[in-house]
Structure 1
Amino acid sequence: MLTEVLQFKSEAVPPIESTVAEAERERLEIQIAEEELKLRGYSLSASRAERLPSIDFVADYGQSGSTPAQSSVPTRNVGVRMNVPLFNMATKGRIDAAQSRRRQAELQLNDARMQVEEDVRLSLQTISTVAQQVKAAQQTVALADRELQMARDRFTAGIADNLEVINAQASLANARVAEIAALAQYKAAQINLAAALGSIESFKW
């Protein structure tokens, strides 16, 4: 039966905070935004480093003498050279541009996190609501089944006609259709939650 394929197992809705945290770890767009922010941070650091002084160690070794035929004396020179970049607009422009790109990456990461949280909240709310609908539909099926059994008993006892049985059968059929629809909605809600968590690949159908 389709109701057996679309199984329903009542489960407690997980806490929103831990669920959002899980989604932020798993969602691909969050991972991409985080890596982009790191990249922009490295680029900004590199641009800022252009303004910093640099130190070079220099060394020289040679021979000193009047002529090549005469005895020469070894010479050695060791020194330290400091380079101090002069302020220029080109460097400032690169730093400003790198800062702007990093800020944009921060905004994109924040937007991605907000979207993920919204997706998770909506998915949890939906699955909770649909679970209640499934329970109500299953209760309706149980009641309709009891009504059908009672109608059959009355018909067998001769205190009711066949029309009551037919009506009870129709009510049970309608209740089962509603149950299947609710189960399908619950399965869809489970899929949406798995997608919101970034774990759709491991979803158990």
Structure 2
Amino acid sequence: MTLVRNISILALLAFLWQAGPACGERVPPAPLRLTLEQAIRRGIDTNLALITAVTRVAEAEGSHERQLAKYLPHARLEPSFTYQSINIRALGINFAGSPSIVGPFTTWDFRAYADQSIIDLQAYHQIKASGKDKQARVQDFRDVRNQVIREVAGQYLQVQSLLAQAEAAQSRVATSETLEKLARDQHDVGVATGVDVLRAQVQLANDRQSLMVAQNAVKQSVMMLARTIGLSPGTPLVLAEPLAYKALEAPQIEEAVTDALKQRADYRSLSLQHDSLEEQLKASRARYYPKLTLSANYGGNGPTLGDLQQTGLVKVDLQFTIFDLDREGERKELQSRLQRVEAQIADERRGIEQDVRGALLNLESSGDQVKVAQEGLTLAERELTMAEDRFRHGVADNIEVVNAQDALARAQQNRILALTGYADAKIALARALGDTEMTYRSFLGIQ
């Protein structure tokens, strides 16, 4: 039994040793199936510019809280112990027979202090300015978010387009292989010449090379998309949504421009920055207005802890600024910034109108191109079928076949480019209108 058991163990070890390399082979991960919605969500969660925009919103919130704190009560506790001697003659006290040094003596003091601004227009306008600035940072965040959606959707569309081109190239290779075999068969029965066979082989080689170029372009585009949405560039991806035509009824230009001016986050951010600067100018002018402050303290003091006497103070301060040359420099600085923002707002308004009009023009043109390209593809497919029949029956050589194959390749490329342009125009229109996150789904037909 021992011998049998030892032989069995040796046999098992030998099997494991032989199977070890096969078992140790790394199984490639399954491709990640990715919809456009999933790609955009991943891009939003991992984009660096968006993360930076979030921190700027938090920073603006902190600045607003600091400004608000200037108009809120300030309170503090100050327990203290003093051990000192005083030269009373240095204070102007000089009586006959009195010593010049008094002390040493001790003083204990426990006191609470509180201050409250009652009237401070400068602080009030600074609070309003910081609030507008915080709202502007929120709009900047929305704008960056819309940019990320536009970027991810554009890259997803690019992969869709390249995949369609690769599929078309694969179809052309299959057709060329069939036609190359037909040429050899026709040559064997004496219907075709050696030139016909060679011509078909050249066409097949060209189509295979085009396929390899298209497949490499797909891999490069997938790698870029994976990087953009926060995945490892080597992550295998499979797009769940192929390139397809989905018609969109375009809005009226004037209505679209008006809506864009209301919704575009970049335009609203500039408007809020303008409002913030106006509040800062008001705060600068308020530096010469009177300020009214209430101060109070209450506590106990005495020479020993057992002899503390309660004391307190209530004080109202009215402060006037008589001369402050810094205010003039601040005013010039703020007015210059205000003029700059006003010029940016005017330019942004024209840019938004240009974006909307351009997107609508592209949408209309690319929609027409899709229809024409589809008609051209149908005609090219018929042409190839007819040329193949003529060659098969010995009516003509395969020059017509090769020419028809080239025409079909151009028609396929034209259709893919038209579909890509139409989808991109819809994404661009969603971005131009401003509410990208809410409109891109309906524009692209996403449920």
| Partner SS state of residue 5, structure 1 | coil
Question: Are 2:250 and 2:360, in contact at CA under 8 Å, matched by a contact in 1?
Answer: yes
Cα drift, residue 37 of structure 1: 0.6
**Which sits farther off after the overlay, 139-148 or 25-34?**
139-148
Matched, 1:41 2:281: no
Aligned partner of 2:426 among 180, 190, 195:
190
Deviations 1:152-203 (A, max 9, x none): 78789x6956849846862445423321122112222222222222344342
Identity of aligned residues (%): 33
Amino acid at match of 1:124: L
Aligned partner of 2:358 among 115, 118, 122:
122
Question: Are 1:40 and 1:98, in contact at CA under 8 Å, matched by a contact in 2?
Answer: yes
Q: Name the CA distance, whole Å, in 1 between partners of 2:424 and 2:384.
A: 31
Q: Name the CA distance, whole Å, in 1 between partners of 2:358 and 2:266.
A: 18
Q: 1:165 to 1:46 in 2, by over 3 A?
A: same
Matched, 1:24 2:261: yes
Question: Are 1:13 and 1:124, in contact at CA under 8 Å, matched by a contact in 2?
Answer: yes
| Partner SS state of residue 350, structure 2 | helix
Q: Name the CA distance, whole Å, in 2 between partners of 1:40 and 1:173.
A: 59
Amino acid at match of 2:335: Q
Question: Are 1:126 and 1:189, in contact at CA under 8 Å, matched by a contact in 2?
Answer: yes
Deviations 1:1-23 (A, max 9, x none): 94993222344432222222222
Matched, 1:8 2:241: no
Q: Partner of 1:65 in structure 2?
A: none
Count of residue correspondences: 181
Question: Are 1:40 and 1:105, in contact at CA under 8 Å, matched by a contact in 2?
Answer: no
Task: State TM-score, norm by structure 1.
Answer: 0.65
Q: 1:92 to 1:164 in 2, by over 3 A?
A: closer
Cα drift, residue 30 of structure 1: 1.1
**Which sits farther off after the overlay, 142-151 or 98-107?**
142-151
Q: Partner of 1:60 in structure 2?
A: none
Q: Name the CA distance, whole Å, in 1 between partners of 2:335 and 2:282.
A: 9
Amino acid at match of 1:17: E
Amino acid at match of 1:24: L
Question: Are 1:130 and 1:186, in contact at CA under 8 Å, matched by a contact in 2?
Answer: yes
The RMSD of aligned alpha carbons is 3.9
Q: Name the CA distance, whole Å, in 1 between partners of 2:337 and 2:400.
A: 73
Structure with larger RCO (C-alpha < 8 A, sep 6+):
1
Question: Are 1:44 and 1:102, in contact at CA under 8 Å, matched by a contact in 2?
Answer: no
Question: Are 1:16 and 1:121, in contact at CA under 8 Å, matched by a contact in 2?
Answer: yes
Cα drift, residue 49 of structure 1: 3.5
Q: Partner of 1:73 in structure 2?
A: none
Cα drift, residue 83 of structure 1: 8.7
Q: Could you tell me which runs of 5 or more consecutive residues in structure 2 were left unpaired when the two chains were aligned.
A: 1-162, 169-240, 294-317
Amino acid at match of 2:253: I
Q: Name the CA distance, whole Å, in 2 between partners of 1:96 and 1:151.
A: 79
| Partner SS state of residue 283, structure 2 | helix
Cα drift, residue 123 of structure 1: 1.9
Structure 1 residues 1-205: aligned runs within 5 Å = 2=164, 5-50=242-287, 89-147=325-383, 160=395, 163=398, 166=401, 170=405, 171-202=407-438, 203-204=440-441
Amino acid at match of 2:418: A
Task: State TM-score, norm by structure 2.
Answer: 0.33
Cα drift, residue 151 of structure 1: 6.0
| Partner SS state of residue 175, structure 1 | helix
Amino acid at match of 2:345: L
**Which of structures 1 and 2 has the bigger CA Rg?**
2
Amino acid at match of 2:244: Q
Cα drift, residue 36 of structure 1: 0.4
Q: 1:48 to 1:168 in 2, by over 3 A?
A: same
Q: Name the CA distance, whole Å, in 2 between partners of 1:46 and 1:35.
A: 16
Question: Are 1:137 and 1:175, in contact at CA under 8 Å, matched by a contact in 2?
Answer: yes
